[in-house]
Amino acid sequence: MSAQNVGSRGGHQAFRLHIVTWNVSTAEPPADVRSLLQLDSQPATDLYVIGLQEVNANPVRYVSDLIVEDSWSHLLMDTLAPIGYIKVTSVRMQGLLMILFAKQVHLPFIRDIQSTYTRTGLFGYWGNKGGVSVRFSFYGHMLCFLNCHLAAHMNYALQRMDEFEYILDTQDFDMNNTPNILDHKVVFWFGDLNFRIADHGMHFLRSSINNGRFNLLWDKDQLTMMKKKEPVLQEFEEGPLRFKPTYKFDRFSETYDTSGKKRKPAWTDRILWRIKPKAIETEDENSSTSSTSSADDDEYPVKVMQDMYTCDVSYGVSDHKPVIGTFNLEMRKKLESPLVTLTVDRHWSTDEDATFTYTILENFESSTWDWIGLYKIGFKSASDYSTFAWVKDDEVAANGEVVTVQIKNELPLLAGDYVLGYYSTNMQTLIAFSQTFQILESKRAVTEGQVPESINGHEK
């Protein structure tokens, strides 16, 4: 069921969510991640959330990645942008990285984006372990994504639980209705959680895996065992582990560790989710209170259905295999209209003045630092604009006021399809788009020989 083809106004729609978690062991990305992202899936994905652990974070590399995007982000953007996915946001803490992509049509309804992180490794100083999170409102529903890398080794299962609970306790957001992770309507928790398979010997482990009898190992999976006694884990759901343990492989092979250490295989890399329980009336003063009323939950429920839970063993740059979870989020939209409309009456050309109008439809925390960018179709992120104009700078436009803006910077010389996007500084995201329109090739530039040749097959 495609999000674009479902139901009438106000009805329920299904949105396809694709989550990847991968400990990349400081490796550079492979040449191609198309199968990892399942680009040919039908219906097409609406949201991609990619969580990586152990991205190369040596001090020199880490500083350079802060200035220009890391190689993993570059590859993901280069793969997804040409088919209409925009990078919405990302959060990085040393080797932990999470990136959110969405179809352009959804961006005006992804609001209140906030991210944070918690260090747990080396007493919290270096940040080699911990969690990064991104929360946002999606058509009015509060979602939170938490990417963790927890303590390693067989004997640290209790420490992993302590770290998870510490991350839940310490991460907070500047939002009245959802200040903490567990206040969100839906939480997805994933990462290299590092839980191991206890008790079984290596021979039994490997023969069970080779025979595809994964169910023989489930009872000794530490996370499954912990779920039986940890109340916070009992609120999280996980699909069945019907794929090979994802750790530890020889690189560029499907063979488990042949080094002297002979690490036992384990499902260290996991994806779980939690739908917020309804508030229960109680007189216990210590009980938590719900941030959404039960009436809201009844009128606007969110259903999460897992479509796929697997690993892709074809990738070998790391000693972990990436894990993929795909979900259908079934919900009724609380929001139907963007905050702003942008209108371009006709095509543009560098040879003429370029004007457009925008109208603020609904009150939001607008700013004179808001701007409207010109984006070539296939753009990667909000910062990937060709040129831009500030919004009305003498005062913030009033509701319903039609504001005319002229782009005074030079337009692109080559013909192409473009959109205008309104960037909200306070919301840190694009909140509105115009219809697609054409910019015509500049006659003046052609006659004067100013049109540059293509560079590496891309028009500049």
**Looking at the whole model, is its pTM more than 0.75?**
yes
Q: Residue 314 CA to chain centroid, in angstroms?
A: 23
Q: pLDDT 10s per residue in the chain (460 long)?
A: 344 444 333 478 999 999 999 999 999 999 999 999 999 999 999 999 999 999 998 766 666 656 667 999 999 999 999 999 999 999 999 899 999 999 999 999 999 999 999 999 655 444 579 999 999 999 999 999 999 999 999 999 999 999 999 999 999 999 989 999 999 999 999 999 999 999 888 999 999 999 999 999 999 999 999 999 999 999 999 999 999 999 999 999 999 999 988 899 999 999 999 999 976 544 444 433 333 445 566 678 999 999 999 999 999 999 999 999 999 999 999 999 999 999 998 889 887 889 999 999 998 888 889 999 999 999 999 999 999 999 977 667 788 889 999 987 788 988 999 999 999 998 899 999 999 999 998 876 666 666 555 444 444 3
* Cβ–Cβ < 8 Å for 100, 145: yes
- Residue 38's closest CA among 245, 377, 242, 309? 309
Between CA 194 and CA 386 the distance in angstroms is 44
Between CA 80 and CA 87 the distance in angstroms is 9
* Cβ–Cβ < 8 Å for 137, 184: no
- Residue 311's closest CA among 303, 302, 320, 319? 320
Between CA 297 and CA 300 the distance in angstroms is 5
- In this structure, the strands spanning 348-349 and 437-440 are parallel
340, HSE (Cβ side, Cα atoms, 13 Å) = 29
> Which tokens hold the place of 269?
């890399």
103-144 pLDDT, tens per residue?
999 999 999 999 999 999 655 444 579 999 999 999 999 999
- Residue 31's closest CA among 82, 101, 78? 78
How many distinct helices (H) and strands (E) make up the chain? 10, 20
Between CA 79 and CA 29 the distance in angstroms is 12
Between CA 108 and CA 335 the distance in angstroms is 10
> Which tokens hold the place of 381?
């992120």
Single-letter code of the amino acid located at 111: R
* Cβ–Cβ < 8 Å for 424, 366: yes
48-107 pLDDT, tens per residue?
999 999 999 876 666 665 666 799 999 999 999 999 999 999 999 989 999 999 999 999
